[in-house]
Chains A and B, each alone.
Chain A
């Protein structure tokens, strides 16, 4: 018991001294469990997030937009790969991690349970969803677990390009025809509140937050990050002439932040519980891809085994 206590003290001292924890270092079980949960959720979000965006690749309204969207979704798949690898450094195999997604045991960001109904939704996802994700991800570049922090440095570079291209789509639509502007405003109306929900429950209701802050997995609270996002995005909306769908939004001189309305936490809890507009479709699509691809993966394994056998025989 004393030994574990000592190890925990050493571990915490290392974190307090801003040293990274590496895969072979001793770490408390709860730290490992917490990170496996968080990184795998993050990986699943990248992969499930390909679905609402992939939905528009074949319908992008210009070839340039199609090319940008293809590149972006390809990046998301790449992020999924780095993150599954980061989970593997903690001793959980990619197969196990993916099985947990497919069975519905593991979560992914609830935002991807909303549908992409018009082209402007691709702009809104880049601007708002990637914009909100970046707030978390920039913080995670300094997270205490080395492989996760390093993956995030690469991911952040690409995400900031994603955010800019989304904002640019919205800007072009907002100064386009009346129909295009309406499309952009409608997308903002639908994606605004779900984007704010991406930061998670309020600090008072966030079960994992305090411990995560102590371990420096997280460095800023959900509410802090949400406020930074709101302050920044309200100004961006103004620049392109779109209106944030919140009647309570008001600049507060005293706090130097925007005051804003209330998140519908019933909706949030519903979507997390599996009752969002697209939860069933998203999981069904991932399961179908996995099942349809089973023979492909088996063929690759069988062929590799044959090759290895031939090499040994030779």
Chain B
């Protein structure tokens, strides 16, 4: 039970940590100053939630690992985030679509998790719901602007959507860990989350005049630590200082 809870919590944390890391790359390079602020703000929100989850995962595991041990001293095979969040920033359409596809999943997940039998996860989710709500609003509004803006922005948004769509299957995969957590009333029913996600996607894409890609091939592997080649570079950048000076305080 505690092993599954550890794995489940770590998955939630890793998605947010890696997405935050990607969004942090934008800092100082956004398309307009307001978006620089929005992106760093999102990166900070995701990081805050990831830190709460990592700390909790460390407690559940009971081996004395801190948030930093879990973030900085695991290798890519031990990271359990979905591949969606490790995808490169690309152009702003890719960044927005990546966040939109994640936000549309993250908000209903957090809302449902507030009713989790695990009090700690419920409390962390409770704190996240407000942030997740405006994250989804932010990414939806931009996606609609792109879809229904200029011809170029429409094409870029559609291309990003087509590119990233194959990464969405992973968000709703089930396995023994998730089944155990759902049965224990800790994790919500993932099928319900998928329905909510799908409704949001349809609604926003319709307003954006964008086409929902067909569900064909879907990527898999992230939850088992089988990542894209991007992942090693993300971690190399994130971890190198910490690993170069082991055991010190910062």
Contact = CB atoms under 8 A, between A and B. Distances in A.
Contacts of B28: 47, 50-51, 54, 73, 285, 289
B245 A180 contact: yes
A306 interface: yes
Contact of B242 (A51, A62, A297): A62
A145 interface: no
A74 B150 CA distance: 29
Interface in B136-178: 144-146, 148-150, 152-153, 156
A172 B250 contact: yes
B124 interface: no
B47 A302 contact: no
Interface string B21-56: 100110111111111110011011001101100100
Interface in A141-195: 169, 172-173, 176-177, 179-180
A179 B248 CA distance: 10
B67 interface: yes
Interface residues of A, number: 47
Contacts of B215: none
Contacts of B67: 63
A299 interface: yes
B156 A295 contact: yes
A295 B250 contact: no
Nearest to B27: A54
Contact of B40 (A59, A60, A77): A77
Nearest to A67: B47
B29 A289 contact: yes
B249 interface: yes
B49 to A, nearest CB: 11
Given A54-B27, A285-B29, A59 B240 contact: yes
Nearest to A70: B44
B237 interface: yes
Interface string A235-252: 000000000000000000
A289 B36 CA distance: 10
B29 A63 contact: no
B31 A298 contact: no
A299 B248 contact: no
Given A67-B48, A70-B44, A302 B238 contact: no
B31 A293 contact: yes
B129 interface: no
B156 A63 contact: no
Contacts of A84: 33
A277 B150 CA distance: 39
Contacts of B92: 292-293, 296
Contact of B47 (A70, A172, A303, A306): A70
A294 B241 CA distance: 35
A119 interface: yes
B22 to A, nearest CB: 9
A81 interface: yes
A180 B242 CA distance: 12
B202 interface: no
A288 interface: yes
A74 B241 contact: no
Contact of A303 (B149, B152, B249, B250): B149
Nearest to A295: B152
A131 B40 CA distance: 23
A61 B40 contact: no
B118 to A, nearest CB: 22
A292 B33 contact: no
Contacts of A80: 33
Contacts of B245: 61, 177, 179-180
A93 to B, nearest CB: 14
A201 interface: no
Contact of A297 (B31, B40, B71): B31
A295 to B, nearest CB: 5
Nearest to A301: B149
Contacts of B44: 67, 70-71, 74
A57 interface: yes
Contacts of B249: 172, 176
Contact of A73 (B27, B33, B72): B27
Contacts of B237: 58-59
Contacts of A180: 245, 248
Interface in A72-120: 73-74, 77-78, 80-81, 84, 119
B195 interface: no
A50 B27 contact: yes
Given A67-B44, A70-B47, A77 B242 contact: no
Query: Which are the 4 A-B pairs with shortest beta-carbon distances?
Result: A293-B31, A299-B149, A299-B153, A54-B27
Interface of B: 21, 24-25, 27-37, 40-41, 43-44, 47-48, 50-51, 54, 67-68, 71-72, 91-92, 144-146, 148-150, 152-153, 156, 237-238, 240-242, 245, 248-250
8 contacts: A47-B28, A58-B21, A62-B72, A63-B51, A74-B40, A180-B245, A292-B92, A296-B31
